[in-house]
Structure 1
Amino acid sequence: MMNQIRLQEPSADLHDSFMQCTAEWNGVDQDGASMFFAEKYGWDLANPRDFGLWVQLLKDLANPDFAPLPGFVSQSTLWVVENEQYLGAVSLRHELGNDYLKEVGGHIGYGIRPSARRRGLAKLALAGALEQARDLGLPRVLITCNDSNIGSARTIESCAGVLEGIRPHNEVGPLFGVQGDVRRYWITLK
């Protein structure tokens, strides 16, 4: 059987696969997956019911008529799936609506499960989010990564990211709890 890799909206049907992926991250929230929303609502993602509520919230956040929690912004989320296995996620924030996003978070966050890296999946995810940004009419997007994350920097650069600069840890860390220096890229959308 040929591998069927695709980007799709979040699905409660992928609960088991998502939890297997979560175990690979060794207790660290998956980049791009927006797991912090589950914590904000008090949901346990290991519980299928709570997982379903979280998936629905991710879908709702893409709806312009849906009001996110105070301090958060509308966003679109895509999952990277191969043969019904969850491999990662990418989230596109529709605006830079708070200081954290303006300085550190940017418009787009993505992450690929450790066992599925080095296959071009991050580039696929980022390209999908850039297409969504174009559809929303965003003229350009900010994408950041840790200065030490060479793979992410290369992914962003391969999608036409232009380095604005590197923010030293001592400028952003104390404000936002960031570990390490932050690379800031802009991608102009045509």
Structure 2
Amino acid sequence: MDTELWIALISSVGAAVSMIAASIYQIVRTVKDGKNIETINKKSDTINTAISDTGTKIYSDTQNIRESTKNLNIIESHIKETKDTVLPAALQIGEMKDNIKALAEDLAARKKLNEYVSQGLNPEDTINRVSAVFEKNAKLSRALEAEQQNYQLLNLEYQKVIEERDELRYELEHLKAELKYNQTQKHNIDYQR
């Protein structure tokens, strides 16, 4: 639903309620002040008119909200229909692009082969040379991978050595402190004798 219409509806109801409350307050004051019944009747007529106008405004705003909701539903329906039509077309366009790309790659490969043949070059020799390069590259990649694994293992061993060194330093500091304490105790005992 249209938020602005709801806000307008709520505002008009609020304004009408405020006007009615003000009129009722005036009637109560008039009765308290002892004014004549004619003034009360006028105020009552004002309240009835305000209630009637508010009811008419609420009905009108409700109709506007219903109409806006109906229009919104029609628009949403059109959007869904458009999506249902556009999506398959977009998929077909994507498939066509893929087919054109594959044909272009195939054409480029055939063109290159024709160039080799027209220059008197043997495509099989080129394929063999390229295969040899790929094999050499694969061997080098495996060797590099093995070296990287060795490096990682050495790095782990180095980390272990560092940890052991730190533990030994801690133990050494602890033993030094213990030795110092024992020497102090011995000195105190010797001193007391």
Fold shared, TM-score > 0.5 on shorter chain: no
Tell me which protein shows more helix as a share of its residues.
2
The alignment's TM-score, normalised by the length of structure 2, stands at 0.15
Q: Between Structure 1 and Structure 2, whose CA radius of gyration is higher?
A: 2
Tell me which protein shows more strand as a share of its residues.
1
The alignment's TM-score, normalised by the length of structure 1, stands at 0.15
